[in-house]
């Protein structure tokens, strides 16, 4: 799937994009390898769409360059377009055109002719389950159907690299799950995908690696695990050992529990609520069991002991918190 020695399918090389005085993208550099699903996350206005538009040969970088399969998006945009599929966040529709005619038009635009085109249309519509509404006019399609149609258009020339900008935005849970399944299926076919989304839990499920961008600067890149490992707490101490949290509920005096944790284990920070405390803890299950045993042994009546792993959302919040002003 991911091959570090191969030519990257996508590469940003010190790429910047300036709009007047505003730096929409600032010295962006990272690589995505063939067959990889890469999540591109960041708050609104972080520079995700700008980067993706440049990669899709819709815009030019002010400095640096971006490459698709080793081909420059600035110098060889026509060659890049042959192997790239771009699904923008806005759906462009035509009046008086059915879904099939829409896809047929784009297939023709990519130079696919005759029987090839018809087969292409059939396969793509079957994959995105649009075959039942093939003869329906585009205007009036639901958001979910429009996204399917947009994905079909992106797939019509069988690109090896796909860029999906906010593909799940505005979809209901069912449509979102179906879209996620399609993305997984595409990844299994060996396509390289660069996906931006605000729904981080879904990205974490389908992406091999993620990049976090804010104010045009790339703050972190790697697997979710690597990003979590790369975090440090306020004292500069690595949080590798304690990236989960545990919520301990007690029957009687919560202060006794707090004192025990603070004095015997030097744990901080300790968040105290009514009859429970929340503390950071290692992912090591044995260590968690030992702590529970010690609490019970110390006479603290524990009513519940719930561990929770830190997620991509927390990593995102932590990484993007005031790092760039």
d(CA 246, CA 288): 9
Which one, 48 or 318, has the nearer CB to another protein? 48
Tell me the two tokens of residue 38: 């890469």
Report which of 239, 277, 240 is spatially closest to residue 261, judged by C-alpha positions: 277
Name the minimum Å distance from CB 148 to another protein. 12
Q: Which of 13, 27, 136, 158 is close enough to bind another protein by CB under 8 A? A: 158
Window 96-135: contact mask with another protein (x via CB under 8 A): xx---x---xx-xxxxxxxxxxxxx-xxxxxxxx-x----
Query: Is residue 202 within 8 Å of 39, Cβ to Cβ?
Result: no
C-beta of residue 37 within 8 angstroms of C-beta of residue 208: yes
Residue nearer to another protein on the CB measure, 52 or 295: 52
The torsion defined by the Cα of 287, 202, 165 and 210, in degrees rounded to 10, comes to: 20
Would you give the binding string for another protein spanning residues 180-219, x where CB under 8 A is met? -----x--xxx-----------------------------
Q: How far is the CB of 208 from another protein (least distance, A)?
A: 18
Work out which of 93, 231, 245, 307 binds another protein, going by CB under 8 A: 93
Sheet with 10-19, side-by-side order of all strands: 22-32, 10-19, 63-68, 71-72
Pick 74 or 199: Cβ nearer another protein: 74
Distance CA 215, CA 302 (A): 45
The correct pick among 57, 192, 197, 320 for binding another protein (CB under 8 A) is 57
Per-residue burial over 45-65, b if 16 or more Cβ lie within 10 Å, else e, is ebbbbbbbbbbbbebebeebb
Q: How far is Cα 247 from Cα 229, in angstroms, rounded to an integer?
A: 22
| Euclidean distance between CA atoms 152 and 80, whole angstroms | 19
Task: Select from 34, 37, 40, 81 the one that contacts another protein (CB under 8 A).
Answer: 81
Q: Which is nearer to another protein, 128 or 320 (CB)?
A: 128
Closer to another protein by CB, 185 or 298: give it. Answer: 185
By C-beta, is 82 or 265 nearer to another protein? 82
Smallest separation (angstroms) from another protein to the CB of 70:
6
**Nearer CB in complex with another protein: 46/112:** 112
Contact window for another protein (CB under 8 A) among 31-39, 149-157, 206-214, 311-319: 149-157
Instruction: Supply the minimum distance, in Å, between the C-beta of residue 55 and another protein.
Output: 10
Provide DSSP, 41-54.
E--TTSSHHHHHHH
What does R_g of the chain's alpha carbons equal in angstroms?
Answer: 24
One of 5, 21, 78, 285 touching another protein (CB under 8 A)? 78
List 45, 70, 170, 269, residue binding another protein (CB under 8 A): 70
Q: How far is it, in rounded angstroms, from Cα 157 to Cα 81?
A: 10
Residue closer to another protein (CB basis): 156 or 312? 156
Count other Cβ atoms within 10 Å, centred on residue 158.
14
Q: Is residue 170 a contact point for another protein (CB under 8 A)?
A: no
C-beta of residue 238 within 8 angstroms of C-beta of residue 246: no
Q: How far apart are CA 77 and CA 61, in angstroms?
A: 13
Interaction site with another protein (CB under 8 A): 20, 56-58, 60, 70-72, 74-79, 81-82, 84, 86, 88, 90-97, 101, 105-106, 108-120, 122-129, 131, 153, 155, 157-158, 185, 188-190
């Amino acid at each position: 799937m991911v091959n570090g020695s191969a030519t990257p399918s996508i590469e940003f090389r010190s790429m910047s994009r300036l709009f007047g005085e505003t730096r929409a993208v600032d010295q962006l550099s990272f690589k995505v390898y063939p067959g990889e699903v890469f999540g591109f996350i960041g708050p609104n206005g972080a520079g995700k769409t700008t980067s993706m538009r440049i990669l899709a040969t819709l815009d030019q970088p002010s400095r640096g360059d971006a490459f698709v399969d080793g081909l420059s998006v600035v110098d060889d945009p026509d060659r890049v377009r042959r192997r790239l599929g771009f699904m923008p966040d806005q759906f462009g529709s035509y009046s008086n055109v059915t879904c099939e005619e829409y896809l047929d038009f784009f297939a023709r635009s990519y130079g696919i002719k005759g029987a090839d085109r018809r087969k292409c249309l059939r396969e793509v519509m079957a994959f995105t389950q649009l075959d039942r509404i093939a003869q329906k006019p585009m205007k009036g399609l639901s958001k979910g159907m429009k996204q399917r149609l947009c994905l079909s258009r992106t797939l019509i020339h069988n690109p090896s690299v796909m860029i999906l900008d906010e593909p799940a935005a505005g979809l209901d849970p069912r449509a979102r799950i179906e879209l996620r399944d399609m993305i997984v299926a595409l990844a299994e076919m060996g396509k390289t995908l660069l996906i931006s989304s605000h729904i981080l839990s879904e990205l974490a499920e389908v992406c091999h690696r993620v990049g976090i961008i804010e104010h045009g600067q790339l703050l972190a890149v790697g697997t979710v695990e690597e990003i979590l490992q790369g975090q440090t707490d306020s004292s500069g101490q690595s949080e590798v050992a304690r990236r989960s949290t545990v919520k301990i509920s007690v029957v009687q005096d919560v202060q006794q529990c707090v004192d025990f944790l603070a004095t015997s284990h030097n744990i901080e920070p300790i968040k105290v609520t009514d009859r429970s405390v929340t503390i950071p803890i290692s992912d090591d299950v044995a260590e968690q069991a030992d702590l529970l045993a010690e609490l019970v042994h110390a006479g603290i009546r524990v009513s519940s002991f719930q561990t929770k792993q830190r997620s991509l959302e927390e990593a995102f919040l932590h990484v993007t918190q005031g790092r760039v002003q």
